[in-house]
Each structure stands twice: as C-alpha cells, then as structure tokens.
Chain A
Amino acid sequence: GEDVEQSLFLSVREGDSSVINCTYTDSSSTYLYWYKQEPGAGLQLLTYIFSNMDMKQDQRLTVLLNKKDKHLSLRIADTQTGDSAIYFCAESLGSGNTGKLIFGQGTTLQVKP
C-alpha cells in the first residue's frame, strides 16, 4: 500500500544547512509536499513539487526529487532558530485530486544557537 517514511529527528547548529529526507511509494503521477508545524499550531505549506520535476527552489528552501528511488528531500539553507519545528512530507495520491494526502510521521528539527 501507500506509505511515506521520514527520519524522526534532526539537530543542527544555527547557520548550518538542514536536510530532511522522505521516501514515498505511490508510482503514479503525484504531487509531493512539505509542511511545517510549530508547537500547538496547524500545518503550514512550505512548498510542493510535481513528480515530473527534479528540483524546486524557493528562497532558502530546495526540494530534490529522485523519482527512481522515490526519495524526496528538503534542504533549508542558513537554518535559523525559528526553523525549529516538525516537518511533514506528504503525498497526494493518484493522478486526480481525491483530497487524499498520505503523511510521513514527521521530522523534528532542532536548531541549536
């Protein structure tokens, strides 16, 4: 079945780059998303990528997609303490929009000053 997996924890120093990894299983054309969740808050969409793309850059964020390995990564350049949060990878299932997202377990990013 469909599954999205992430590593659970990442700790970096302020100013370093952070790389959060995700693997997914759906083989059809799909959108993949990165969401950020701060404590006690909802989910904020950071960026998305369609499965026919290899890379997308948006300011400090770079998304890389390896379609062969079904591997997605989110790189945050110049990580700040305000980037400390849980980051979720999610996949929109199937070739049409059914409103169904499958989420990974979330990666907790800790940024040390």
Chain B
Amino acid sequence: NAGVTQTPKFQVLKTGQSMTLQCAQDMNHEYMSWYRQDPGMGLRLIHYSVGAGITDQGEVPNGYNVSRSTTEDFPLRLLSAAPSQTSVYFCASSSPDRRGYTFGSGTRLTVV
C-alpha cells in the first residue's frame, strides 16, 4: 500500500549512542517532515524538507540532523542520544496542494 514507512517501530538507546530513524514514502511527495510527540504537548516539528537537497529547522531541531538526498527518503539522525529525546517520532509527507499530510505509524524511542 502507498504511504509513509518508518523503521524501526521501537528502539531503546543508551545515553550517548547515535542512531538513524528511517522514513520512506512512495507517493512522490515533495514535502517531508519529522515531528516528535510528547504527552500533553501535541506534535512538535523537528526538521522539514521541501525537496531533495533542501532541508530546514523546525521548532525543536537541537540534537537532530537530517538530509534529503532523494525524494523518497528523509532519515533523522540522533547524534548523541539523551533521555530528553525519549519520545514518539512521526514522519510525514505531503504534495504541494496541502490537502493532506500523510503520517507514518511512528517510532517509539526510549533513551536510558
């Protein structure tokens, strides 16, 4: 089925470790973004991209890096994991008409 695929679904990291959360979409959407969801705070934008080779920071970018080498993929890298990065991470994509952003099923990350 067409959509946004996130891997892994669950991950436990130790403080200081690094990892990459994967996000791929097969809808040829130009726009992709990463959000984190914390209890009682809704979703907050980490980084976003309006096309291959173009990325920008969102509301809470510190501690995260992104790159967009292809239209399909938008990985999120945690450089040195901290307990404050324990959260559920969602990737989303959209076409320019803005009539709906499609979300992945999320990655639940715990940093101990």
Q: Is the CB of B45 within 8 A of A100?
A: yes
How distant is B52 from chain A, measured CB to nearest CB, in Å? Answer: 13
Q: Is the CB of B104 within 8 A of A42?
A: yes
A42-B90, A42-B106, A105-B41 are known contacts. Are A100 and B101 too (CB-CB below 8 A)? no
Count residues on chain A whose CB falls below 8 Å from chain B CBs: 24
Binary interface encoding of chain B residues 91-112 relative to chain A, with 1 for a CB under 8 A from any of its CBs, else 0: 0101011111111111000000
How distant is A96 from chain B, measured CB to nearest CB, in Å? Answer: 8
Count residues on chain B whose CB falls below 8 Å from chain A CBs: 29
Q: Is the CB of A42 within 8 A of B31?
A: no
A98-B50, A100-B45 are known contacts. Are A45 and B102 too (CB-CB below 8 A)? yes
Q: Is the CB of B100 within 8 A of A98?
A: no
How distant is A28 from chain B, measured CB to nearest CB, in Å? Answer: 13
Q: Majority SS of interface residues in chain B?
A: strand
B53 beta carbon closer than 8 Å to chain A? no
Q: Which residue of B lies closest to A44 (CB)?
A: B103
Report which of B42, B50, B102 forms a contact with A97, defined as CB distance below 8 A: B50
Binary interface encoding of chain B residues 24-65 relative to chain A, with 1 for a CB under 8 A from any of its CBs, else 0: 000000011101000011111100111000001010000000
Total residue contacts A-B, CB cutoff 8 A: 70
Binary interface encoding of chain A residues 42-58 relative to chain B, with 1 for a CB under 8 A from any of its CBs, else 0: 11110010000000000
**In the complex, which residues of chain A have a beta carbon less than 8 angstroms from the beta carbon of B42?**
4, 88, 103-106
**In the complex, which residues of chain A have a beta carbon less than 8 angstroms from the beta carbon of B90?**
42-43
Q: Is the CB of A103 within 8 A of B96?
A: no
Give Cα A33 to B97, complex, Å.
Answer: 13
Give Cα A103 to B43, complex, Å.
Answer: 6
6 contacts between A and B (CB under 8 A): A31-B99, A35-B103, A43-B103, A45-B102, A99-B92, A102-B45
Pairs of residues from A and B, 9 with the lowest C-beta to C-beta distance, nearest first = A99-B31, A103-B42, A99-B48, A43-B103, A42-B105, A103-B43, A99-B33, A105-B42, A31-B98
Spell out B's residues near A (CB within 8 Å). 31-33, 35, 40-45, 48-50, 56, 58, 90, 92, 94, 96-106
